[in-house]
Amino acid sequence: MKSHNSKYKTGIITAIVIVLVLLIIRFPIGMSTGGDTPHQFELAGQEVRTEPRQESVDFLTRYNNALVDLAEVSKPTVVMVAIERTVAERSPRSLFEEFFRDHPFFRERQPEERERQQRGLGSGVIVSEDGYILTNHHVIAQAETITITLIDEEELPATVVGSDPRTDVAVLKIDAENLPHMPLGDSEELRVGEKVLAIGSPLGPALAHSVTKGIVSQKGRTDLHILGAQGYENFIQTDAAINLGNSGGPLVNMRGELVGINTAIASRGGGFQGIGFSIPSNMARDVMESIIEKGRVVRGFIGISFQPVDERLAQALDLPEARGVVVADIAEDSPAEEAGIQIEDVILEFDGQAVESGHEFRRKVAERAPGTEVVLTVFRDGDEIEVSVILDELPTEELAALDEDTARDILGFSVIELTRELAERLGVPSGVDGVVVEEVDPDSEAADNGLRQGDVILSLNRMPVSSLSEFEEAVSNLQPGEVLLLQILRRGNQFFIAFELQTT
- pLDDT tens digits, residue range 88-119? 655 555 554 444 455 555 455 555 666 777 78
Domain end point (choices 332, 363, 393): 393
Domain end point (choices 337, 364, 393): 393
Contact by Cβ (8 Å): 307, 344: no
In a domain, 359, yes or no: yes
Q: Are residues 431 and 480 in the same domain?
A: yes
Q: Are residues 157 and 203 in the same domain?
A: no
In a domain, 21, yes or no: no
Residue 131 confidence (pLDDT) above 80: yes
Using a 10 angstrom Cβ sphere, with 0-12 exposed, 13-18 middle and 19 or more buried, the burial of residue 182 is buried
Rounded distance, CA 263 to CA 250, Å? Answer: 9
Higher pLDDT, 480 or 307: 307
Q: Catalytic site residues? A: 138, 168, 247
Q: What is the pLDDT of residues 237-258, one digit of tens each?
A: 999 988 888 899 999 999 999 9
Q: Are residues 144 and 112 in the same domain?
A: yes
Q: What angle do CA 322, 328, 331 make, to 5 degrees?
A: 140
Q: Per 3-state DSSP, what percentage of the chain is helix, strand, and coil (rounded to 5)?
A: 25, 35, 40
- pLDDT score recorded for residue 253: 95
pLDDT class of 41 with cuts at 50, 70, 90: low
In a domain, 10, yes or no: no
Q: Are residues 204 and 246 in the same domain?
A: yes
In a domain, 203, yes or no: yes
pTM, to two decimals: 0.65
Total number of domains constituting the chain: 4
Q: Are residues 304 and 288 in the same domain?
A: no
Q: Are residues 169 and 238 in the same domain?
A: no
Q: Which spans in 303-460 are helix H?
A: 311-316, 335-339, 358-367, 404-411, 420-426, 445-448
- CATH number, domain containing residue 423: 2.30.42.10
In a domain, 17, yes or no: no
Residue 401 confidence (pLDDT) above 50: no
Q: How far is CA 155 from CA 128, 129, 170, 384, in A?
A: 18, 17, 19, 60
Contact by Cβ (8 Å): 256, 74: yes
- pLDDT score recorded for residue 461: 79
Domain end point (choices 123, 144, 174): 174
| Closest-CA residue to 223 (of 421, 409, 357) | 357
Give a three-class secondary structure readout of 15-41: HHHHHHHHHHHHCCCCCCCCCCCCCCC
- CATH number, domain containing residue 264: 2.40.10.10
Domain that holds residue 149: 77-174
